[in-house]
């Protein structure tokens, strides 16, 4: 079969899909992508068995044909080609790519060996704007655990209740939680999406485009016009996150976000890897202090505060992560009277962060 395709119409979808191929050579077939040419349109598949993607290209081939080609190598070749038409020639198990003076021949794998990639028709399905989906992922994924000992925490939890979707990320020491009202959301039991799948989803979703999210017990799938990403969910039960959101932390302080962040940054400059930062609240002021082998630092912020005098130690990275993800100019911090979970939030009730202090 001989045909030609414009470089740009094929390069885009392929570059989005190739990230999902297997990099280690445990199953060599998974380093490949399956391209299904059809007289109606062309479909590309990639998978590493945990995570799969299907891409659609508006291209009508002269005949139906399936090929399996090495993903990253194919992408590399396409990138190096000049813009414009590229000629493809498929024989028995060889793919010849031609353009001007260039001719590259790639050997092909047997399409029957490629694992089946099947879309799910989810039990739960709703539509979300790409911008909102990206925001939801961004607001909680920084808190997702990297430690595989508690595997369930290495993903973002997503749960539907009364027309709103809640996403949660936690590493067991801090937790970010974002809630959004969305049309067409029913009540659904939470599932946990692996961190890696989130990264791929972020890569394929564009701001403003319509995204359909489908969920069943074992899989979660996001579909845009041109691409579908399908991920296995992490099995196991996610900890009861609702139960650890502190209620009645009555020592509330409103801080100017930039000033708070700057203060933390200044103080943390003298810190090593593991020292905590100490935050002390007293009438009208907040003190941020740190001490390490090389010295000590202190920043005093004037604040509007009438609560009790309290002092807490934190992992400074946790606090800075939270502040930098808060929208608007204000951070609202609520601390309990007894040493324990501190709540950080922005104006409104949709975004909450809980940070556990470090024992003294």
Partner 1 sequence: MAKIIVCVDMDAFFASVEQQDNPALRGKPIAVTGAGERTVITTSSYEARSYGVKTGMTVYEAKRLCPELILVVGNNRKYARICTRLQEICLRFTPDTETYSIDEIFLDITGSHHLFNGPENLAQAIKDAVRSELGITCTAGIGPNILIAKLASDLAKPDGLLWIDEAAVPSALDALPVKKLWGIGSHTEEKLRAMGITTCGELGRASVSLLTKKFGINGERLKAMGNGRFERPLEIVSPEPKSIGHSITLPRDIWKRDEITPCLLRLSERVGRRARRHGYKGKKITLTVRYVDFKTFTRQTTLPASTNDTSEIYRAAVAILDGIRLRKSVRLLGISLSSLGKDERQMALFQDADREKRAAMAKAMDAVNDKFGEHSITFASTIGEEKDHKVISPAWRPSGVRKSDV
The pair of three-digit structure tokens given for residue 23, joined into one six-digit string: 């990099």
Residue number, 172 or 184, with CB nearest to partner 1: 172
Residues 216 to 255 in contact with partner 1, rule: CB under 8 A: 239-240, 244
Residue number, 190 or 239, with CB nearest to partner 1: 239
Instruction: Report phi then psi at 292, rounded to 5.
Output: -145, -175
Burial of 357 per CB tally in 10 Å (0-12, 13-18, 19+): buried
Residue number, 47 or 353, with CB nearest to partner 1: 353
The pair of three-digit structure tokens given for residue 300, joined into one six-digit string: 């005093």
Q: Minimal CA–CA distance to 43: which of 24, 23, 62, 17?
A: 17
Residues 21 to 50 in contact with partner 1, rule: CB under 8 A: none
Q: How far is the CB of 118 from partner 1 (least distance, A)?
A: 33
Among 10-18, 145-153, 210-218, 262-270, the segment contacting partner 1 (CB under 8 A):
145-153
Which residues 6+ apart lie within 8 Å of 67 measured at CB? Answer: 34, 35, 37, 90, 95, 108, 111
Which residues 6+ apart lie within 8 Å of 4 measured at CB? Answer: 85, 86, 87, 88
Residue number, 59 or 173, with CB nearest to partner 1: 173
> For residues 221 and 121, what is the distance between their CA atoms, to the nearest angstrom?
9
DSSP at 343: E
**Contact call for residue 272 and partner 1 (CB under 8 A):** no
Q: How many CA atoms lie within 13 A of 350 on its CB side?
A: 13
Decide if 157 contacts 238 (C-beta within 8 A). yes
Using CB under 8 A, which of 16, 70, 139, 174 touches partner 1?
Answer: 174
Decide if 330 contacts 257 (C-beta within 8 A). yes
The pair of three-digit structure tokens given for residue 322, joined into one six-digit string: 């939270």
**Contact call for residue 167 and partner 1 (CB under 8 A):** no
Using CB under 8 A, which of 172, 295, 328, 329 touches partner 1?
Answer: 172
Q: How far is the CB of 241 from partner 1 (least distance, A)?
A: 8
> For residues 162 and 136, what is the distance between their CA atoms, to the nearest angstrom?
18
Residue number, 209 or 242, with CB nearest to partner 1: 242
**Contact call for residue 190 and partner 1 (CB under 8 A):** no
Which residues 6+ apart lie within 8 Å of 66 measured at CB? Answer: 34, 35, 36, 37, 111
Using CB under 8 A, which of 99, 166, 315, 353 touches partner 1?
Answer: 315
Residue with tokens 């949709």: 350
**Contact call for residue 320 and partner 1 (CB under 8 A):** no
Among 16-24, 44-52, 147-155, 262-270, the segment contacting partner 1 (CB under 8 A):
147-155
> For residues 171 and 103, what is the distance between their CA atoms, to the nearest angstrom?
51
Q: How far is the CB of 268 from partner 1 (least distance, A)?
A: 16
Among 70-78, 144-152, 189-197, 250-258, the segment contacting partner 1 (CB under 8 A):
144-152
Which residues 6+ apart lie within 8 Å of 90 measured at CB? Answer: 1, 2, 65, 67, 96, 108
Using CB under 8 A, which of 12, 173, 196, 203 touches partner 1?
Answer: 173
**Contact call for residue 175 and partner 1 (CB under 8 A):** yes
Q: How far is the CB of 336 from partner 1 (least distance, A)?
A: 12
**Contact call for residue 295 and partner 1 (CB under 8 A):** no
Q: How far is the CB of 50 from partner 1 (least distance, A)?
A: 19
Using CB under 8 A, which of 117, 182, 252, 358 touches partner 1?
Answer: 358
End-to-end C-alpha distance for the chain, whole angstroms: 72
Q: How far is the CB of 244 from partner 1 (least distance, A)?
A: 5
Decide if 126 contacts 184 (C-beta within 8 A). yes
**Contact call for residue 294 and partner 1 (CB under 8 A):** no
Among 66-74, 77-85, 169-177, 221-229, the segment contacting partner 1 (CB under 8 A):
169-177
* Chain contacts with partner 1 (rule: CB under 8 A): 147-150, 170, 172-175, 239-240, 244, 274, 276, 315, 340-341, 354, 356-360
């Amino acid at each position: 079969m001989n045909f030609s395709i414009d470089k740009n119409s094929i390069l885009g979808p392929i570059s989005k899909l190739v990230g999902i191929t297997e990099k280690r050579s445990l199953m060599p077939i998974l380093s490949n992508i399956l391209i299904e040419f059809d007289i109606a349109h062309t479909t590309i598949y990639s998978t590493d068995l945990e995570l799969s993607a299907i891409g659609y290209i508006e291209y009508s081939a002269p005949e139906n044909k399936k090929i399996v080609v090495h993903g990253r190598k194919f992408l590399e070749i396409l990138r190096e080609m000049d813009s414009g038409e590229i000629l493809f020639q498929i024989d028995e198990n060889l793919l010849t790519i031609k353009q001007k003076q260039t001719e590259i021949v790639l050997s092909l794998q047997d399409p029957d060996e490629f694992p089946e990639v099947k879309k799910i028709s989810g039990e739960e399905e709703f539509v979300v704007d790409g911008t909102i989906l990206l925001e939801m992922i961004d607001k909680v994924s920084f808190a997702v655990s990297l430690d595989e000992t508690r595997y369930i925490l290495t993903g973002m939890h997503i749960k539907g209740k009364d027309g709103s979707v809640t996403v949660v990320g936690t590493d067991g020491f801090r937790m970010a939680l974002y809630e959004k009202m969305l049309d067409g959301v029913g009540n659904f039991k939470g599932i946990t999406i692996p961190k890696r799948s989130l990264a791929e989803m972020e890569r394929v979703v564009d701001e403003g485009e319509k995204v359909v999210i489908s969920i069943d017990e074992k899989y979660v799938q996001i579909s845009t016009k041109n691409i579908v990403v399908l991920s296995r969910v992490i099995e196991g039960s996610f900890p009861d996150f609702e139960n650890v959101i502190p209620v009645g932390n009555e020592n509330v302080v409103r801080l100017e976000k930039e000033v708070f962040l700057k203060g933390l940054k200044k103080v943390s400059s003298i810190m090593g890897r593991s020292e905590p930062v100490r935050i002390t609240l007293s009438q009208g002021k907040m003190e941020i202090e740190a001490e390490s082998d090389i010295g000590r630092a202190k920043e005093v912020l004037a604040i509007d505060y009438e609560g009790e005098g309290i002092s807490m130690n934190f992992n400074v990275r946790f606090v800075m992560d939270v502040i930098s993800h808060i929208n608007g100019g204000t951070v609202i911090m609520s601390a309990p009277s007894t040493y324990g979970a501190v709540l950080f939030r922005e104006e409104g009730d949709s975004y909450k962060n809980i940070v556990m202090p470090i024992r003294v």
